[in-house]
Structure 1
Amino acid sequence: MTGSGPGRTDILRRDLARFLKTCGFGVEELRTKIDIVRSEFADTHGYDPVEHAETWLTTPDSVLDEADPPLRVEDLGRDVAGIRLTCAVTADVYRVRDLLVARRDVRVIEARDYIKRAGPDGYRGLCLVVEVPVASTGRVRTVYVEVQIRTGVMESWESVATRLRTEFDGHVPREMLDELRAAAESARDLDLRIGALQRHVEERSEADRDAPPA
């Protein structure tokens, strides 16, 4: 697009709305696939590995507010639409990841593991970017959807960290950053302890199933 003024902004807003609407359809498509994964896992293992699922979709206004002109829709990143999955234990985070990646109708184009290697501030979780085909009248368009998978403990930590980043406009004081990292280590230890208890429960359940009838 060329030119400037309200006309160009209106056209850009319209194009953004159309593009983000398609991204929203992609989120719903992926949400359905994830629901299938959860259902199949529950049928096999007796419980749902995902405790909570939440979707998000960027609005045209937020894109325009944050963008440095000139902006083109095709230049938008891969984080405008996504799904956040919360699991009870770290093992389930990886189980959900593996089941999702194994699907033939989901193509993972980027994967970042912040559980094995935490972020600079201590953030932990899995982040995937997947391609999702969205069929409309006369065409199929591929959109990107970000998938964040973490435990409830990781989610609680990230909630507080996000509020701190917002409060200090992304420039959190060093002493608070140090406290964030320390809290992240404590959260990691708690996840490990909870995971150990979960494995104990699973081992007892497997032993009960394999035991010969009395």
Structure 2
Amino acid sequence: MQTMQERITEWTNFLFIYKFALDEIDTKLTILNEEFQFVHQHNPIEHIKSRIKSPDSIREKLERKGLEVTVENAREHIHDIAGIRVMCSFVSDIYKIFEIISNQDDLRVLRVKDYIKNPKENGYQSLHLIVEVPVFLSNRMEKVKVEIQIRTVAMDFWASLEHKIYYKFDKTVPKHLTDQLKETAEMVKYLDEKMKRLKDELEQFKEEDTSVDDVQPLLQLL
């Protein structure tokens, strides 16, 4: 029978490994973003946020699954303990980042859910990946699962608002609000498409214009 202190130590060590996995992914994405800027004069990544589920959240999820609350069950059955969210300017950047991640030799993509091509019923859009990243410790190597969500800034703004509304109403949201959320999701999609067309036109103008210096400040705004 484990003592309380032993359980706390076990869970602390367990979650530490997920922090290291997030550090690995964060460093990798930062390097790729800077390289992309150098080669293509464009940053596909605007912001990166990361989080680790709290012990209470892990316990609640295991209990919902009807599983005993153990480190082993958490490792085996919960794949979003470590999560990283990547915000981009354009939808095309989302798939570019996905392509780059998929081509990394030390990462393995285990699962893909494309809520951009197939949005959720409420209008939610994002690309979700579960990847496996190796974490090298002093005495062993562990493969750790990390959830990566990739979305545009506009999609992230919508998702943040949707989360606040569902939290406010304890997931029982009045129909007129869910209808408005679905409507604004369509507006977000239109905005992303419009911004992409604008970017494409500016890039075409850059290629045709011999005076690149006049266009460069506009491109940098994107």
With normalisation by structure 1, the TM-score equals 0.88
Residues 115-147 of structure 1 show CA distances to partners (whole Å, capped at 9, x for unaligned) of 111012110011111101111122101111111
Q: Which amino acid aligns with 2:49?
A: E
Q: Give the Cα separation in 1 of the matches to 2:206 and 2:167.
A: 44
The size of the alignment, in residue pairs, is 205
**Structure 1 match to 2:55:** 60
Report which stretch shifted further, 191-200 or 173-182: 173-182
**Structure 2 match to 1:71:** 69
Q: Secondary structure at the match of 2:113?
A: strand
Q: Secondary structure at the match of 1:84?
A: strand
**Structure 2 match to 1:38:** 33
Q: How does 1:155-170 map to 2 (within 5 A)?
A: 155-170=156-171
Distance 1:73 1:51, change over 3 A: same
Q: Which amino acid aligns with 1:112?
A: K
**Structure 1 match to 2:9:** 14
Distance 1:204 1:100, change over 3 A: farther
Q: Which amino acid aligns with 1:142?
A: K
With normalisation by structure 2, the TM-score equals 0.85
Residues 13 and 60 of structure 1 are in contact (CA less than 8 Å); yes or no, is this contact kept in structure 2? no
Q: Give the Cα separation in 2 of the matches to 1:181 and 1:48.
A: 30
Q: Give the Cα separation in 1 of the matches to 2:112 and 2:60.
A: 28
Distance 1:92 1:42, change over 3 A: same
Q: Which amino acid aligns with 1:53?
A: I
Q: Give the Cα separation in 2 of the matches to 1:187 and 1:107.
A: 31
Q: Give the Cα separation in 2 of the matches to 1:66 and 1:129.
A: 17
Q: Give the Cα separation in 1 of the matches to 2:203 and 2:95.
A: 16
**1:173 positional shift:** 2.2
Q: Give the Cα separation in 2 of the matches to 1:205 and 1:95.
A: 21
Q: Secondary structure at the match of 1:150?
A: strand
Residues 41-77 of structure 1 show CA distances to partners (whole Å, capped at 9, x for unaligned) of 1111102111111111112243335542621222221
Residues 26 and 143 of structure 1 are in contact (CA less than 8 Å); yes or no, is this contact kept in structure 2? yes
Backbone CA RMSD of aligned residues:
2.0
**Structure 2 match to 1:88:** 89
Moved over 4 A (4+): 7-11
Residues 1-32 of structure 1 show CA distances to partners (whole Å, capped at 9, x for unaligned) of xx6xxx56654443222111100000001111
Report which stretch shifted further, 10-19 or 189-198: 10-19
Q: Which amino acid aligns with 2:105?
A: R
**Structure 1 match to 2:142:** 141
Residues 157 and 184 of structure 1 are in contact (CA less than 8 Å); yes or no, is this contact kept in structure 2? yes
**Structure 1 match to 2:43:** 48
Whether 1:25 and 2:20 are equivalent positions in the alignment is yes
Q: Give the Cα separation in 2 of the matches to 1:151 and 1:57.
A: 22
Report which stretch shifted further, 65-74 or 80-89: 65-74
